[in-house]
Structure 1
């Protein structure tokens, strides 16, 4: 009876792993015979359990390919129309908040696509597709709003030129940073603290050395991810404790 009651409050936020044990399992898997035959089925299983991350990576490839097939003028117009700059956020906020997350500016996004197929897919397998999408969207939207607010205040005070209000700003990095930071709560103890501290130090150093509003947005997104992870973990542990106390009280 107690076990069935507690199972109602199971959440991925409370299912942590020991990193050293996981590394030992991974090393043992690599040392097993017929490695080359096991790689493809393992990759297929990994991506199949993370449909949103896999579809996202494919969408980024499609949008990149679309930009390569149009002229430079059309490419700049498409990027501008999807940018979460101050001008677009004042006129079409919902449209650009959604569209900006599915475009990349520059060369082929090798690192971004690989990050989604490996890191984001792992996070999705841990959290589940719905929670992963919600966390990613929270980081993307929250960091964008904080960044745009900072740009607006800086322009009003004359600290930056007005042309920043129409600068191109697209990409997945805010949502990615939020999920990456929240992954700290997948681990236990020192590893969790080291993961969170490393991310904050790296992003904080980037903001300190060459401060840009994008760096500011990355740091904001990481803080959002940590806050979401801490809140969700605390909430589900509290529910589990309450359920355990009620179950023990109900026992004869």
Structure 2
């Protein structure tokens, strides 16, 4: 990584060595007074990731809302927020936004915990604005690709027309994009292992029980890898440019 004397640092170039991070974390856990230090550490972690924390809270609120209404109202709410082919043709902007804040099924404890840990970590690394952009790009991009695939499949009679009205809400597309981009947080072999493992898991899901959601997850991961690669290359370029400019200024002032 090229250090910039001028002070410009892109988060995409701030990679970490996983072994070193694990050793540091282990030493922190072994220090005396873990119970006393845990709460301030959790507070600092969540305080540095306001978007992920707010997102997790919103998911809890929407889940609680669904629990307080009848089954018929719940189905209407989920359908109105679904990014199915019908809604995308009539209210694309509304459902693209709304679908990301609803979950279908039981209490989304695993999703909420994942946001408070994994997504919060990604937000602390990238910054809130970049994290929101990456998450939204994955969610919107994968949704559009999936809906396009469904439309073509229906037109060719490959899948039934009833899928035009299927319920489709959740955070998984944006989540997959961020997970893929997180490969660029690591160096060397760990980066390759992270990217390969995620890709193989998504391909396995698509192979074992192929659904359009699995296809969307793979598309979202591809978007995350692409954004990460472009942002990482751009970050290195800008840091080199800032360093060269700083050297020119120093040479001129000498």
TM-score scaled by structure 1?
0.96
* TM superposition shift of 1:236: 1.1
Structure 1 residues 101-144: Cα deviation after superposition (integer angstroms, max 9, x where no partner) = 00000000011000000000000000000000000000000000
* Structure 1 outlier segments of 4+, above 4 Å: none
CA distance in structure 2 between the aligned counterparts of 1:159 and 1:230, rounded to whole angstroms? 35
- 1:156 aligns with 155
After superposition, residues 171-250 of structure 1 pair within 5 angstroms as 171-250=170-249
Structure 1 residues 70-115: Cα deviation after superposition (integer angstroms, max 9, x where no partner) = 0000000000000000000000000000000000000000110000
Give the aligned CA root-mean-square deviation in angstroms: 1.2
Higher mean alpha-carbon deviation, 36-45 vs 111-120, is at: 36-45
Unaligned runs of 5+ in 2: none
Aligned length: 249
Partner of 1:104: helix, strand, or coil?
A: coil
- 2:108 aligns with 109
Kept in 1: contact 2:5–2:243 (CA 8 A):
no
After superposition, residues 29-178 of structure 1 pair within 5 angstroms as 29-178=28-177
Partner of 2:168: helix, strand, or coil?
A: coil
TM-score scaled by structure 2?
0.96
* TM superposition shift of 1:242: 2.4
Partner of 1:108: helix, strand, or coil?
A: coil
CA distance in structure 2 between the aligned counterparts of 1:189 and 1:202, rounded to whole angstroms? 21
Partner of 2:41: helix, strand, or coil?
A: helix
Unaligned runs of 5+ in 1: none
* TM superposition shift of 1:4: 4.4
Structure 1 residues 43-87: Cα deviation after superposition (integer angstroms, max 9, x where no partner) = 111101101000000000000000000000000000000000000
CA distance in structure 1 between the aligned counterparts of 2:56 and 2:47, rounded to whole angstroms? 13
Structure 1 residues 181-228: Cα deviation after superposition (integer angstroms, max 9, x where no partner) = 111111101001110111001001100111000000000001100100
